[in-house]
Amino acid sequence: MEILPEFELHQPDSVATAVKLGAQTGAKYLAGGTDLMPNLRHGLGDPISLIDVSGIADMQAIENTAMGLRIGASVTLQQLVTNPLVLANYSLLIEAANTIAGTTHRHHATVGGNLCLDTRCQYYNQSEWWRKSNSYCLKYKGDSCHVAPNGNVCRAAFSGDLAPAMLVHGAQVEIWSAKGGQRIIDLDDMYQDDGANSLLLKPGELLVAVLVKPLPTFNTGYRKVRVRGGLDFPLAGVAVAVQGRGNKLEQVMIALTGTDSRPILLKGCDDLCGKPLDDAALKALERLVRTQTKPMRSTFIPNQYRSKVAVNISRRLLLDLLMR
Ligand SMILES: Cc1cc2nc3c(=O)[nH]c(=O)nc-3n(C[C@H](O)[C@H](O)[C@H](O)COP(=O)(O)OP(=O)(O)OC[C@H]3O[C@@H](n4cnc5c(N)ncnc54)[C@H](O)[C@@H]3O)c2cc1C
Ligand code: SF4
């Protein structure tokens, strides 16, 4: 670990002040800091100022609204999993959040920080010394990619566990900026498949809250595979919500993380519905996962293995939930 770079720390108490400060050149938002601070210590970034949004009251509440449950971006993962409104109707969010990092992290780590998590790669999440010895890479300070040397897009993996669960819940996000005020977009539209630029947020834009709708008639679940069972990022993670009768699927939503530079809300799931979940349907699900996800050599675990894992945990989780 290296010494932190010099930066100014601001601790605004309102969204309006935060976005004004966030609009300044070289500013970066800081929430729980459980990902950002280790990255800065590795020399990944050199912000002029950090805007700590963890003390803003409007970003700390969880409340029912006409648009669904509004979860402030600065709610910690521990607050999320113990909140009565979440406990009542959002077991999927709790299941996913409880797989993130370790207990002590979850007391600081926030919902917003998890959804805005930087992408990860075995050639990027390394010390400055290591990256310099390897001529850096496309994502930061370098000009070529070690994972896909002929490509010009970074393939680092988005590895946040909450995003697929939120996507299955039809999440929308409330985004604020100094110039544009507030806008609400689908969470799915906040991401793009570019590991160096996976968030479609303009400079200075702040994620203030997430809006989710309950899925009362669905069985839901989250499953992930990781190298260290106790505490680790997903090699692949999948969230499923399913409604069925007997072994027949009526409605299903599936979202994945850890496989690509953005979380994937699987398209074409409607084609699986109205028929039994038999071998043909499981094969069709495999095709959907294989064609819409593309793990690359961004972890030291082979990409073919991650691809198989994504297919198998999707199939097993769907079967388990339908039979529940
Ligand atoms: C040992 C270890 C294990 C981990 N395991 C996992 C894991 O299994 N799964 C997982 O998902 N994560 C894991 N993490 C990463 C991290 O702890 C979590 O993702 C956490 O939820 C990040 O939240 P944070 O509040 O600490 O974010 P921060 O580190 O404060 O910020 C993360 C990023 O989000 C941006 N940001 C924060 N808030 C906002 C906002 N409101 N609007 C716009 N941008 C914002 C920051 O600028 C930064 O780029 C792990 C980390 C460690 C150190
Ligand atoms: S995928 Fe390529 S450009 Fe992106 S972090 Fe890894 S090595 Fe760097």
The 10s digit of each residue's pLDDT in 204-255 is: 999 999 999 999 999 999 999 999 988 899 999 999 999 999 899 999 999 9
Residue minimizing CA distance to atom 31 of ligand 1: 113
Instruction: State the pLDDT confidence band at 292, using cuts at 50, 70 and 90.
Output: very high
- State whether the beta carbon of 29 lies less than 6 angstroms from ligand 1: yes
| Among 7, 29, 176, residue to substitute to test ligand 1 (most atoms within 8 Å of Cβ) | 29
Q: Are residues 204 and 75 in the same domain?
A: yes
Q: What's the CATH number where 245 sits?
A: 3.30.390.50
- State whether the beta carbon of 50 lies less than 6 angstroms from ligand 1: no
* Ligand 2 atom at shortest distance from the alpha carbon of 155: 1
Nearest ligand for residue 190 CA: 1
* Spacing, Cα 156 to ligand 2 middle (Å): 5
The answer to pTM > 0.85 is: yes
Q: How many domains does the chain have?
A: 2
Q: How far apart are CA 89 and CA 173, in angstroms?
A: 19
Q: Are residues 199 and 292 in the same domain?
A: no
Query: Hey, what are 7's tokens?
Result: 């930066």
pLDDT of residue 1: 61
Task: Give a yes or no: residue 268 inside a domain.
Answer: yes
Task: Give a yes or no: residue 91 inside a domain.
Answer: yes
* Ligand 2 atom at shortest distance from the alpha carbon of 122: 6
Q: Are residues 206 and 227 in the same domain?
A: no
* Spacing, Cα 320 to ligand 1 middle (Å): 30
Task: Give a yes or no: residue 162 inside a domain.
Answer: yes
163, 187 contact by CB (below 8 A):
yes
Domain endpoint, select from 178, 195, 212: 212
Task: Give a yes or no: residue 240 inside a domain.
Answer: yes
Q: Where in the sequence is the domain holding 259, given as residue range(s)? A: 221-323
The stretch 282-302 carries a mean pLDDT of 95
Query: Hey, what are 216's tokens?
Result: 């009362």
Q: How far, in whole angstroms, is CA 217 from its chain's centroid?
A: 25
Per-chain mean pLDDT for the chain: 96
191, 198 contact by CB (below 8 A):
yes
